[in-house]
Amino acid sequence: MNAVRRGRTRLFMLFLALWAAVVVARLAQVQIAQGSRYRARAARQQERRIEIKGSRGSILDREGRELAVSVEAASVYAIPDEIESPRAAAQALSPLLGMPAPEVQEKLTSERGFTWVKRQIDAATGERVRALKLAGVHLVAEPRRFYPKGHLGAAVLGFVGTDDAGLAGLEHLYDKTIRGKPGEIIALTDARRSRYGEAETASSRPAQEGASLVLSIDSGIQFAAENELAASMAEHRAKSGSVVVLDPWNGEILAMASWPDFDPNDFARYAPDARRNHAIADSYEPGSTFKIVTGALAVDEGVVSLDEIIDTGDGTIRVANTTIQEADRHRYGALTLGGILEHSSNIGIIRVGMRLGPRRLYDGARSFGVGQSTGVDLPGENSGIFRPLPRWSALSNAEISMGQEVSLNALQLARIGAVIANGGKLVQPHIVTKIVEPGGAVRAVAAPEPVRVVSEATARSLANIMIGVVERGNSGKAAIPGFSVAGKTGTAQKAGMGGYMPGHHIPNFVGFAPADAPRCVAVVVVEEPQGKYYAADVAAPLFSRVMSQALGILRVAPREQRVPMAVLAEAAPERPPRYAAGVLPASRRDPASRSADDRTPSAIGMSAREALAAFARLGVLARLQGTGFVVAQDPPAGSPIRPGAVHTLFLADSTASPSRAGGRRAEEAAPAPSAP
């Protein structure tokens, strides 16, 4: 019996030894041979790797004002395996996320282990989602693109998709520069698959911010251009329009407005035409504004002199069996080149262009950049149309001379105007001036050196002619009180299939100011206005309003002033300000030079700048009270001017017309507005 018991005990001990050996072997296999595999599997069950976008760099205007920034937003993601009831979760999320419940449920039942439900929702919505405490539904912070000034400069800035890719404008062209580098976080989950934190491991990496762009755009001038353009579009019920304001010396774009416009914060709800940058994407026949190119080339080539008389006859000319006549059948008779541009004579400029001949006209126009992209750092530029010389017809020399058979975009026309304004050089338009790295390093973006196109003397002669066009010709509505303005109108018919379309016009204007020391070139284009359509009535007034505000924002003083308006208005007689050598403002000139019959002028309805200029011309010191337009004055208009007296002008916004009030407020501000 004892022997049997001992045998059983030995058998049991042997079994235990064998079982222990198997367990130890299996443990050795799991922990040593297959340890890395099971540790990785455990990590996958306990960790979720989520890629996080890096913040895009900011886009700033020339004064450092923010036009595009990255802000923190919440993104909702799901782990389908962790969701207990996809249908119930979808019903709860649908109203919060603004998505149909079936669409949400489809995401929650995805076969993938990770799926985005909705990205970049606002913080308040994110908190409401978090409060639901749905198993398998989580939130993570991500950067979202935000445009603090809304519509301002939208066509230039472009917009960004939810995948952080720039889809238009500067956001698209400089996408690689300003897009941040993505990072990765590791979300930790417990046994119930609930997220409880984030792990910092050697394999995780932080997101990196992209570089920032500094633009040549001035927010104040951009606001004025967009505001006035929108008012003009409404007044004339036009199809589209654009405004470009350019520094003629270095090619910096100070403003580029396009209408219709859009809000890049919600770009998807706008039609493609509203998101189009009409200033560079649309080309059109310029019509008479092109006559400055023909005139400049003719003067530079010596085929016509400034005082030469050119006979325009009875207002018709026969070219290649085709009769061409003046607009509205005018007859101007004998004209100089200045008279040809002042009257915008088709016959006169054709005779000048025929003297140039096809080769010189073609080569010269190409040197002005006609038919070529400007090279501006924006996507989507239309280079226009300018056929090679072998494809010219017998009529081309005549028609191109007066701005037909050739098409330009607004920026190309602004560059042509800059050639005349800066003394004969072709500049490279550009909009990005600096790139600022996240660490603070600044890299300047240099533009190519201007290239001489015509002589300085030729450019000066054309500038003087363009001054005459505004002062004596048909462009009087482009004038700006206190400034000399040079400019030229153009009213082109819109070309279509089979020829020009009756009733479809594109009035445009190019000009610069002050004409004696140009600070800005501006081009305005209005497509298909209703009712009035001549550039003198549509484009010239729009140019005047935009340019006057641009000069005010840039603090360019009228010719009657040589010191800031604030000094003229507030200087006390007992403490006269110091002026630069040789400079004396009109308000400080000897009042004895005035006639005893001089009377106080009426300033009612004038802007602050216009009123100060009017009083300065008479050597009278004026003080301003309020902002906007003059509604009263003391002493009253018509009273005798007393030497040394200070006249008080009372201003209010109530007199501003609805279409111009917003733009005028920008003009009245001494500094450019920080948040237009």
> pLDDT grade, residue 563 (50/70/90)?
very low
The dotted CATH code for 219-553 is 3.40.710.10
Residue 29 to residues 307, 383, 530, 597, Cα–Cα distance (Å): 105, 72, 86, 115
Model confidence over 477-530: pLDDT tens digits?
999 988 999 999 999 888 777 677 888 899 999 999 999 999 999 999 999 999
Q: Domain 565-668: which CATH class?
A: alpha beta
Reduce the secondary structure of 306-339 to three states and give it as a string: CCCCEECCCCEEEECCEEEECHHHCCCCEECHHH
Q: With a cut of 90, say whether residue 443 has pLDDT above it.
A: yes
Contact 230, 159 (CB under 8 A): no
Model confidence over 523-562: pLDDT tens digits?
999 999 999 999 999 999 999 999 999 999 998 888 755 3
Rounded-to-integer distance, Cα 447 and Cα 526, Å: 29
Q: What is the mean pLDDT of residues 642-664?
A: 53
Rounded-to-integer distance, Cα 653 and Cα 651, Å: 7
Contact 417, 440 (CB under 8 A): no
- The continuous run of DSSP H or E covering 418 comes out as helix 410-421
Residue 188 has which token pair? 């930790």
Model confidence over 142-158: pLDDT tens digits?
788 899 999 999 999 99
Cβ atoms within 10 Å of 116's Cβ, excluding its own: 15
DSSP 373: -
Please report how many Cα atoms fall inside a 13 Å half-sphere around the Cα of residue 97, on the Cβ side: 28
Rounded-to-integer distance, Cα 592 and Cα 367, Å: 54
What residues does each domain of the chain span? 48-149+175-213, 219-553, 565-668
Contact 127, 112 (CB under 8 A): no
> pLDDT grade, residue 294 (50/70/90)?
very high
Q: Which one from 240, 288, 367, 607 is the annotated catalytic residue?
A: 288
Helix (H, G, I), strand (E, B) or coil at 274: coil
Phi, psi (deg, nearest 5) at residue 114: -145, 135
Q: What was the pLDDT predicted at 669?
A: 30
Q: What was the pLDDT predicted at 87?
A: 86
User: Mean pLDDT for the chain?
Assistant: 82
Q: What was the pLDDT predicted at 583?
A: 35
Angle at 220 between CA 215 and CA 221, to 5 degrees: 80
Please report how many Cα atoms fall inside a 13 Å half-sphere around the Cα of residue 265, on the Cβ side: 14
Q: What was the pLDDT predicted at 38?
A: 56
Higher pLDDT among residues 674 and 648, named by residue: 648
Q: What was the pLDDT predicted at 374?
A: 95
Percent helix, strand and coil across the chain, each to the nearest 5: 40, 25, 40
Same fold yes or no, 48-149+175-213 and 219-553: no
Q: What is the mean pLDDT of residues 258-263?
A: 96
> pLDDT grade, residue 191 (50/70/90)?
very low
Of 116-130, 250-264, 288-302, the range with the lowest mean pLDDT is 116-130
DSSP for 95-156, please give it.
HHHT--HHHHHHHHT-SSS-EEEEEEE-HHHHHHHHHH--TTEEEEEEEEEE-TTTTTTHHH
Q: What was the pLDDT predicted at 64?
A: 92
Highest mean pLDDT pick, 252-256, 497-501, 614-618: 252-256
Q: What was the pLDDT predicted at 118?
A: 84
Higher pLDDT among residues 662 and 219, named by residue: 219
DSSP for 458-502, please give it.
HHHHHHHHHHHHHHTSS-GGG-BTTB--EEEEEEEEEEETTEEEE
**Residue 288 designated active-site:** yes
> pLDDT grade, residue 36 (50/70/90)?
low
Percentage with pLDDT > 90 across the chain: 51
Cβ atoms within 10 Å of 495's Cβ, excluding its own: 17
* Cα of 593 vs its chain's centroid, Å: 48
Q: What is the mean pLDDT of residues 313-330?
A: 90
Q: Can you identify the CATH homologous superfamily of domain 48-149+175-213? A: Penicillin-binding protein 2a (Domain 2) (3.90.1310.10)
